[in-house]
Amino acid sequence: MPSSLAVEANTPEEPVDARVRRRLRELRTERGLTLQQVAERAHIDLSTLSRLEAGKRRLALDHIPALAAALGVSADQLLGSASPADPRVRGRPRRFDGLTMWPLSNHGAAGGLQAYKITVSAKRATPPGVLPVHEGYDWLYVLDGRLRLMLGDEDFTIEAGEAVEFTTWTPHWFGAVDGPVELIGLFGPQGQKLHLRA
């Protein structure tokens, strides 16, 4: 009978077998592999692999080389902790129609929501003839300046330190009142397409 991994990891909160299960899921997902594909490559029964990954079966030492080979990594890479991803957001600012938008989040984060720091030029003071409408919600927080927000027939002045949330099914537009404005905006996928002209 194969010996099982019960040795504790360097970090006391995560045993080696738990870390290997986590790494197995991470590596399999990163490579776009199904459980079936990994099971076939490792010559392990699919139900065994499924139970190993779910923590319902103890991980045996002799599983490590086969699983590592199936994932195209060394045994050390399977046993070790994953290097944390670079947390920096490296998107370039987008400029159009009196707005400059710097991304503050990477794509795919927060259920499709994307965060931006936005500068509204003082020249963006006149709304279009027809206010845009789209699916979703927008969230805005004014850091500096005074923001003009039009929602349907309503015309609001949003001061620094104030936040707004609104459905974008309501015709809407935002611009500057009497000088440039800095704000943080959160947009869903539909709002990004409209605001970024994507």
Q: What are the pLDDT digits (tens) for 47-96? A: 888 888 888 888 788 888 889 898 888 888 888 765 666 788 888 899 99
Residue 132 pLDDT more than 60? yes
Q: Model's pTM, two decimal places?
A: 0.57
Q: Where are the alpha helices (DSSP H) in 8-79?
A: 16-30, 35-42, 46-54, 63-71, 75-79
94-195 folds as: Jelly Rolls (2.60.120)
Least confident stretch, 2-6, 47-51, 76-80, 170-174: 2-6
Least confident stretch, 53-57, 117-121, 187-191: 187-191
Q: Which residue has the higher pLDDT, 198 or 76?
A: 76
| Banded model confidence at residue 194, pLDDT cuts 50, 70, 90 | low
Residues of the chain with CATH 1.10.260.40: 16-79
* Architecture of the domain delimited by 16-79: Orthogonal Bundle (1.10)
Give the H/E segment covering residue 195: helix 189-195
Q: How far apart are CA 101 and CA 5, in angstroms?
A: 50
Residues of the chain with CATH 2.60.120.10: 94-195
Residue 195 pLDDT more than 50? yes
Q: What is the pLDDT of residue 190?
A: 59
| Of 64, 58, 61, the residue nearest 24 (C-alpha) | 64
Mean pLDDT of 18-47: 87
